[in-house]
Amino acid sequence: MSATLADRVSSRLRDIQDFPSPGILFKDVTPVLADPAVFGDVIRDMADRRRGTVDVIVGIEARGFIFGAALAHELGIGFVPIRKAGKLPGEVRGLTYDLEYGTATIEIHQDAFVGGERVLVVDDVLATGGTAEAACRLLDEAGATVVAFETLVELAFLPGRDRLVGREIHATVVVT
């Protein structure tokens, strides 16, 4: 039997213990990106799940840009970045939140949405859920409609899903 996409991605996730700080088991996605067959199949799988149901892809800096921009291109729709504080040049709205390792502030351009756009939020890893929750709240405040949160990897041993109650979440790989 041929390997599932989840198995193929799992085999290309590299675990780095104690990065970026002691006690963190870091899931490195760079081997997934380095394999064009797997990376391509990941993007096509995400696209097939969303075709015709979203207007805009929002990617979260930095690794969410890689998957989000490729997905937007595959779907033929626009891409909007959520960036760390101080990086976007125009007027912004922002939110500060807790991370698995520290705190962060994210920002989005104030004029990125007129209201009502159907948005898919994309990132590489769902860990504590702080980033995803902040991104979804920021988009709610901006008047966009968050259709779902799409991630390559969900760390199910952390309570990320609990921060996103009521939101649709899909992960290519669930790490237990």
Ligand X SMILES: Nc1ncnc2[nH]cnc12
Ligand Y SMILES: O=P(O)(O)OC[C@H]1O[C@H](OP(=O)(O)OP(=O)(O)O)[C@H](O)[C@@H]1O
Binding site for ligand X (CB under 6 A): 24-27, 100, 125, 127, 155
User: Which amino acid, one-letter code, is at 153?
Assistant: V
Alpha-carbon span 42 to 57, nearest angstrom = 15
Q: Is 27 in the site for ligand Y (CB under 6 A)?
A: no
Which residue, 73 or 87, has its beta carbon nearer to ligand Y? 87
Structure tokens at 25: 């088991």
Which residue, 7 or 15, has its beta carbon nearer to ligand X? 15
Q: Is 118 annotated as catalytic? A: no
Which residue in the list 8, 61, 83, 100 is annotated as catalytic? 100
* 60: partner contacted, choices ligand X, ligand Y, none (Cβ within 5-8 A by kind): ligand Y
Shortest CB 100 distance to ligand X, Å = 4
- 169 beta partners: 149
Give kind and range of the element (H or E) at residue 172: strand 169-175
User: Of the ranges 11-19, 49-57, 73-81, 118-126, which one interacts with ligand Y (CB under 6 A)?
Assistant: 118-126
CA angle (108 as vertex; 103, 112 as ends), nearest 5: 165
- Strand 14-17 to 25-28 pairing: antiparallel
